[in-house]
Chain A
Amino acid sequence: MFNTLKAGALALALSLGAATCVAIGSPAVSAAAAGPTVRIDNFVFGPEALTVPVGTTVTWVNQDDIPHTVVAEDKSFKSKVLDTDERFSFTFTKPGEFGYFCSLHPHMVGKVIVKAA
């Protein structure tokens, strides 16, 4: 199941990256767009669970008209407040399961499962 989600997220990230390239006319895909993206849409992290290998940079992008944050339950990462279309990236260097939530709307939860390489 996670594989499916992951594949979906990667495909999405790639398409977003490509779209960004076209929009700004840059030949290079930015580092942030190279990893998977979690979209915040309608107060939901999508995908809610993401599985990645160690060393992956995950980017969250807020697509709501309301600000959100991305805060690890173990406090290992914490974004500043993300207004509409703002992004936050974090590189996972250790394997494990990292639950996170929006500190403004704490019913919004997600997790990143980091597998050893």
Chain B
Amino acid sequence: MSDHDDKAGGEDRRGFLKCMAWAGTGALWTLGGGVASSISLDQAIAKPAAAQGFTFLQVSDSHVGFAKPANPDAKATYQEAIHKIVAMPQKPDFIIHTGDITQLSKDQEFDDAEQIIKQTGLPVFHVPGEHDMLDEGAGKAYLNRFGKGTKGAGWYSFDHKGVHFVALINVVNLKAGGMGSLGADQLAWLKDDLAGRPSSQPIVVFAHIPLWTVYADWGWGTDDAAQALALLKRFGSVTVLNGHIHQITQKVEGNIAFHTARSTAFPQPVAGQGPAPGPLKVPTEQLHSMLGITTATFVRGGQPIALTDSTLAS
């Protein structure tokens, strides 16, 4: 069994190197497992111009409308986060928002959130969180505003400078006793969407609830994520960006790097610490150091993707 695993790992590594040569956008952490010498091998290979360097941002869990002890004004902290983006000397190409845009899916909350992020003047790609599904139409308010051109419950994909981005929805049709769910229709769409793409193309997948099980007792995972990950396994560089848990966690599995972002609204406890995954009240002076955004940088020419988290206090 372990022999087989080792062998499989070796094949994956070779596949990964090919990707590095082609696009230069592999995950840094994938190289953390004692294959540093592979970098020089990679650097010896001439790199064709494919994916170009660029930066994009991830914001998450803005919960506009939230006004409870853990943060009396989540709209204001979202505005602060967006101000930081506006002030950046080098503009990112676009922003992704990984859900829980609003607290209760109210029109006013969606309006406020949209007006705030519009100040960046940048393209924004949304996915909904479970808090964005609370209108009478169970998600219609979100789809009417942000779902133009999407499929099913709002999933879509796009390409940017050689990188393929996939936006998945895992907050609808949830089942009793379960966690997040992608559903058969979306998985079938994903299979078609990825079919025919070269394994060397870098992939970024984003969704609200983590696509790996961070903590099942609190529902911090997606029941059928394994089926999506199986479709992604052949790609040399896959980055999975999620929100929902309001804190940074990361993990590497083969060529897939998982990362969750901070919220701009309120922190939540570390998995299993405390009675529930609800808002964590911290001393007021600490709040800003527990809220933040994530910067993703693709550098051309053999450098791996870099994810940098910054707080509202910094």
Residue-wise interface mask of B (91-135) relative to A, using a CB-CB cutoff of 8 A (1 in contact, 0 not) = 000000000000111000000000000000000000000110110
Q: Is the CB of B174 within 8 A of A106?
A: yes
Q: Is the CB of A106 within 8 A of B69?
A: no
Q: How many A-B residue pairs have CB under 8 A?
A: 59
Q: Is the CB of A65 within 8 A of B104?
A: no
Q: Does B178 contact A (CB under 8 A)?
A: yes
A74 to B103 CA separation, bound complex (whole angstroms): 27
Q: Is the CB of B68 within 8 A of A106?
A: no
Chain A facing B: main interface SS: loop
Number of A interface residues at 8 Å Cβ cutoff, please give it. 22
- Near A by CB (< 8 A), chain B positions 184-242 give 216-219
- Given the known A-B contacts A65-B69, A73-B176, A83-B104, are A106 and B276 also in contact in the complex, defined by CB atoms under 8 Å? no
A38 to B283 CA separation, bound complex (whole angstroms): 31
Number of B interface residues at 8 Å Cβ cutoff, please give it. 25
CB distance from B54 to the nearest CB of A (A): 35
- Near B by CB (< 8 A), chain A positions 32-69 give 42-44, 64-67
A73 to B175 CA separation, bound complex (whole angstroms): 8
Chain A residue at smallest Cβ distance from B138: A103
Q: Does B179 contact A (CB under 8 A)?
A: yes
CB distance from B210 to the nearest CB of A (A): 14
Q: Name the one of B70, B103, B178, B279 contacting A107, with C-beta atoms under 8 angstroms.
A: B178
Q: Does A95 contact B (CB under 8 A)?
A: no
- Given the known A-B contacts A43-B218, A43-B276, A109-B176, are A65 and B70 also in contact in the complex, defined by CB atoms under 8 Å? yes
Between B103, B176, B178, B218, the greatest number of chain A beta carbons within 10 A of the residue's beta carbon is seen for: B176
- Given the known A-B contacts A83-B104, A106-B219, A107-B218, are A67 and B176 also in contact in the complex, defined by CB atoms under 8 Å? no
Q: Does A81 contact B (CB under 8 A)?
A: yes
Residues in A with CB closer than 8 Å to B130 are: 104-105
Chain A residue at smallest Cβ distance from B275: A42
Residue-wise interface mask of B (63-75) relative to A, using a CB-CB cutoff of 8 A (1 in contact, 0 not) = 0000011100000
A109 to B69 CA separation, bound complex (whole angstroms): 26
Binding site for B on A (CB under 8 A): 42-44, 64-67, 71, 73, 81, 83-84, 99-101, 103-109
List, sorted by A's number, 10 A–B pairs whose CB atoms are closer than 8 Å: A42-B276, A43-B278, A65-B279, A67-B134, A100-B176, A101-B176, A104-B133, A105-B277, A106-B177, A107-B179
Additional pairs, 11, CB under 8 Å, beyond known A42-B278, A64-B276: A43-B278, A44-B276, A65-B68, A81-B105, A81-B134, A100-B176, A105-B219, A105-B277, A106-B176, A106-B177, A109-B177
